[in-house]
Structure 1
Amino acid sequence: MYPREKRHVIHGTVWTGTWVAGRLGVELSARGGDDEELRGLLGLALRDNPKRAHLLVSHVLGKHVPRSPAVVRGSGYELGRRVRGLLGEAEARRAVVVGYAETATGLGHCVADGLAHAPYLHSTRRPVPGMRQAAGFEEAHSHHTSHLLLPEDPELLAGPGPLVLVDDEFSTGNTVLNTVRALHERYPRERYVIVALVDMRSPEDQGRLAGFAAEIGARVDLVALAAGTVRLPDGVLEKGRALVAAHQRPAPDVTGDVAAVRRLDLGWPAGLPDGGRHGFTPEHRARLDAALPSMAARLAEALGLGLGLEGADAGTGATGVPDALAAPAAPAAPAAPAAPDARAPRILVLGCEELMYAPLALAARLEELVPHADVRFSTTTRSPVLAVDDPGYAIRTRLVFPAHDDPADGPGDRYAYNVAGGGFDAVALVVDSTADTPLLHAPDGLLAQLAAHVPRVVLAAVPSYVPERAGMLPEPLRGPAFSSYAPDEVGWLIQDLSGVELEAPTEEREEAIQSGGAHYAESLPVEYQPSDDYQKLFRSALDASAARIARAVGVVTETVLAERSPRPVLASLARAGTPVGVLMRRWARHRHGLDLPHYAVSIVRGRGIDTNALRWLRAHHDPADVVFVDGWTGKGAITRELAAALADFPDFDPEIAVLADPGSCVRVHGTREDFLIPSACLNSTVSGLISRTVLRADLVGPDDYHGAKFYRELADADVSNDFLDAVSARFDEVADAVAADTARLLAADRTPTWEGWAAVERISEEYGIHDVNLVKPGVGETTRVLLRRVPWKVLAQRGAGADLDHVRLLADQRGVPVEEVDDLPYTCVGLIHPRYTRGATGADGRAVTAP
């Protein structure tokens, strides 16, 4: 019926596209290269799909064709290496990789490995209850079209660095365009890199991608191992359907003994994601690498590779699991090479649909551990493809079995290709626990199908990663919707209470707080509106101190990078710490090219830190990398509060990094001088227009973040970014001084002396206050008490100069006396009298009146 096709021969074997090319008239040719090289990467098969007749079958993907895991991993790693060369080292460190489900989930992960171990996420067709969708898009030609992006960390896609999109082939570009369009609307960026094993676009499609890049105003590059074209004759869909109908054969009614399948506990590390469905970080990669030798040794034992296939049943208990696997074991030594005349045992590690990388990593480690075995890797798939037992056809055999992972699209068939008849002595099926269902073990299920064709079957179920409840907490709020800061400067782990009336007159709040009727965090003071004179003082103070602040910012940031983490996660204590956190992030980016994650979290004296914010941070970052940031220390109350609050979260380090530590309460600081930090001069108008945080039972439930308000109406008075820009502009000027200061500090004994706390206790007793919480030491704390509370008096260091000009002005406006004293370890101290009421008198007989 068909003319005898030309049999293309590649490296001594028949090209696996010959059968389709001869019957369907499909032509595969390289673009500006070697046809033989392209055909070495690809074969052809026929889809059972009304939208597209042919299937390009990769020889190096590890999906339809079992292949050496070293070849599969090496192909992806090489693509990642090429992307790294294209981007350069600095941009490569900022990249995030996204792979396509289901075919390219493992390939994308390998590309991320080659790209300096970049963070990785793959799309999924499996909805996960409670997970928010970051984006979704369609793959028009696929048998199953809907893709979901469900990152546990919503910030994974929000950074400004390059986004690398990985698919097995780049044919029309429709899928990539749909993806980029969906992501660019929500997370715009300047650069995208498209990666595929092969680029098979037509000239028209090549031009379309370039036009789309110009339309969105972003650069789009493409990296592939090979490029070519596919020529399809007229009527190819109809011809393809006719061929499928003519050659389709019913699945043979053969099943194996499921009871003989051995179940293996790999010892998968607790809490380690099973793949990139919700994101896979460099920290996850390190944990997997550390666990692989032990897991591969267990797998080798279960497959009989350490004992020889003939004697592998020895040493197994009633459950079929080797006795040596009952408890975690040390990695086994490599098995002895087979005798020269013995056939190498042929082993298949079979993944399950989207679960490709974990079984691939296991297979690769097994291949290294047992060099005498012929280890291959492939996975099951959703795609229905015609099987034809011909050396010139890419899909020789297929197993058909019911879907066993509770798919969103309902029941249906799944497939494993080129397994039956592959001559395998043993197969290790690796699934996630979600797919380890009764249908997997059914008489017509995958295990029975494997057992019918392979003498030894081992089942290893990896625990399906379920994000913590914190993964379901709201995403951080960002400007301009919440705060006047740019969205990449800080994410607020805060609940927006802008619509709630929380302000109370200052004197009413003071009476309620001191009488015990209310906590200071249950209400807000009326925002202080600075006078023209005060605004001028702020401007002059900023001009005078910007370089001094820049120097302290540089020192504290360099100290954190040197001592705490090379890529810290900044958690500023809202709100005084937040401008400092932004400046530290700017320093790290300006001086080191680092984009540090930065979040603002609430801590309330007497109530502790926001534990929901901690859970969110734990779910999205390594707690060991989290560095808490504040503006300054006074007497160290917040330092103590944080240490106590983190007793139930021992994986977080309670040490605070501060710009100024006049009280000698912390090790990590920019300076211990008590000087004016202009961000302390104002309230929300220098802190992104955000109020102080609020914690009130009727507004903040057990699953809520602490609250705060966004004062949009004060935008005309906002100087938040003026402050940041003025300080950032001095970074280069102070760089040499920062280097010298940092070197000196790192070599010095910075053990806190808590001299500030001792001074506060002395002042509290000397002035008859008897409550250290009512003593506010330092320029920053004195300024805040003048803005928010009703102070009794201010103690000023005799001879203090311009650093106190704003304090004197505020005190004068409020009728608060300023008393100059000697032997004060701070530049100034604000005092609140404990017997404050309207018309009351203080310890010195002076009338205490509301301002």
Structure 2
Amino acid sequence: MKNVVWSGTWVAERLGVELVGDERLSEMLGLALRRNPKRAHLLVSNVLGKHVPQSPSVVYGHGFALGRRVRDLLGADGGEETGDPVVLGYAETATGLGHCVADGLGSAPYLHSTRRPVEGVARAGGFEESHSHATSHLLLPEDPELLAGEGPLILVDDEFSTGNTVINTLRELHRRYPRKRYVVVALVDMRSPADRGRLEDFARETGARVDLVTAAAGTVRLPEGVLEKGQALVARYEAAPHGTDPAPAEEGLPAQRVAPGVTPWAGADPWHPGRAVRVALGWPRGLPDGGRHGFTPEHRLRLEGALPAMAARLAEALPDGARRVLVLGSEELMYAPLRLARELEQIVPAEVSCSTTTRSPVLAVDDPGYAIRSRIVFPAHDDPADGPGERYAYNVAGAGFDAVVTVVDSAGDTPRLHAPGGLLDRLAAHTPHVLLAVVPAHVPAPPHASERPAMLPEPLRGPAFSSYPPDEVGWLLQDLSDVTLEAPTEEREEAIQNGGAHYAESLPVEYQPSEHYQELFHAALETSATRIARAVGVVTETVLAERFPGAADASGGAPARRPVLVSLARAGTPVGVLMRRWARRRHGLDLPHYAVSIVRGRGIDANALRYLADRYDPSDVVFVDGWTGKGAITRELAEAIREFEAADGVTGFDPEIAVLADPGSCVRTYGTREDFLIPSACLNSTVSGLISRTVLRSDLVGPHDYHGAKFYRELAGADVSVAFLDTVSARFAEVEEAVAAQTRELLSGDRTPTWEGWAAVERISKEYGIDDVNLVKPGVGETTRVLLRRVPWKILARSGAGADLDHVRLLAEQRGVPVEEVRELPYSCVGLIHPKYTRGATGADGRAVTG
């Protein structure tokens, strides 16, 4: 039989450290050396799932068994307490263990301490862990009464070395929330005889009963001078070059094995996707990611019901033939990765292990008699990080894992995670497959926040709402077709400019194009369809290449990660449909596509974002629009996403917009930066699925409603929505080579937005005496909108602009609006709304503003 070397041998031989006690101690614990001025040695648990990868069933089983023992202990006493027990775990190492103990108890709420401050959440207490690398613990329950009950308080840590942390906690909590009984739980009790009486002293002082439940017990014998000797040994190893022996003359002294250190990453592209493949877990909305703010028995039931489907998504994303898989949690986030790993272990043939990254600095030595064989070093990536500096993953490098599933909460899904030198980049150097699963970080709702509905409505689809086929787009809107919202254009303009109404509170009367104008539309479509098809292909390929590497080349089924197209209604909707068609035709990808409302000055529909966050990984969402003008919506979306994340605690939405045309140079992802005629801008609803622009009015849209819009069924005879899409799609085949070449050129070039359009608008505003830049509408699309639904003052046309402006000139002639030729205009044209509109007012040229 092969002898197994105890993973504490190396330290024991060099420092004279001994473990004395139960026979199970050497199975449960190893030894390592830490970079810590307070204690040289580190007890490394083999069954905690922290520093040492272990079977999730083994990890969960140990914690659950301790919970069962506590349940039996409390039950054996005949229920003398008047309240239900509450379980409290310690950050960072025992957050998962405490959860498992609570599971074993069956009906106990759970809370763990945290070192991550959360803005707006009041502290219910705190304490110090004197020997730890990071000492301050915070207690941040969402329910302020969680710790105030009369039932037993169960305190859970992975090991007791001196008992100081437990004593500090008991004294602090008993001062704030006195109770009659405490149960202290740990995997191992390693207190010295001198320390063992301190719990009894506390019980005598307070009159409370204190019980102790552990899986094993013993003590650590430390020779005199062990701290100084250990620090010297750590210093020698840390100073040695990686992969070399710091003391080659010493027989049997092995080399340190440390994964490559942190490389400079501050100047790198912060959203470089690296080589990690995202997996959308489908984490249930509103379910906490752990016990940082409390985890109730009801939460536990929801998690149990959701685990099989989430594990199935992970299993589907694993590479074929993977034999060894690690599920790697992140610091305090231990329980969710553990449960996912345990469920995954039941359904895949691979050997599944789990462990967690940590902030604790430990020496790594590649020796079978040492508990920490290797370490990966990377920058802290949670937001807010509890201080800058290094973080570590132990025993991952060189362990032979075929895939590592990295599980972080959304607060940890930051640019530092993805950057060169970040955790995902470091992992990719040691395993051929890195997967990333993000769990939404639970942030308690602010006091008195209104309750939200448990379920948001499903999207509206054609033919009941819109003339698009139902699979082309789902509208995250409410149907206001039966409400009279239209007002004369002149009345709307006066109300908007005088501050009496917002433009989104009413609708303009739908423009009915003349026969001549319709002919112009069809002629423009025939002329520009190829150019539009090329731009559709380029923007779609750019999105796939930059944000979803590998999706376009997926074979053997759908890729683990794919875009979710979310167009900004309504100008973005035809573009989103065309991008979806391109991805399906060119790559066989069936992309989800939704349309949502965004309103200048009022932001994006938050309920629509909540719907998307419930069903998809927010980082998979790609916002789509038709074109940029001066970039107002680009800025609006970025600000709205920031506000939504702050309010809901759901992060990961990328506010970058993908557009067909970016003449304003406002975005990085576009099909072209030319300002040319996109025929869908020539018409209103009749080229946009017969849907109106969106409406946001407090008497129609409540806090739990989507923004509204109308479906103009009565205009079906003039509808060209699907004809427009089909005409452009028919040109896809002929532009494939051009798209490939142009995409390669774009991806290799500098696409940094210059905001040239914004500068031009400010210059025009000043030149024409317009104080409000919102009254300057640059580009063919925006100018067309001005002529169709606002009260225009004049049109600025770039000298030499050709057929792209035929429809603009026709509309201007019909409305009596002058067209002024301008040189050095970055756009083909600019529409100006009169800055001081009142009905009957005249412009500078003497014409009536109303036309």
- What is the TM-score when the length of structure 2 is the normalising length? 0.49
- What is the TM-score when the length of structure 1 is the normalising length? 0.49
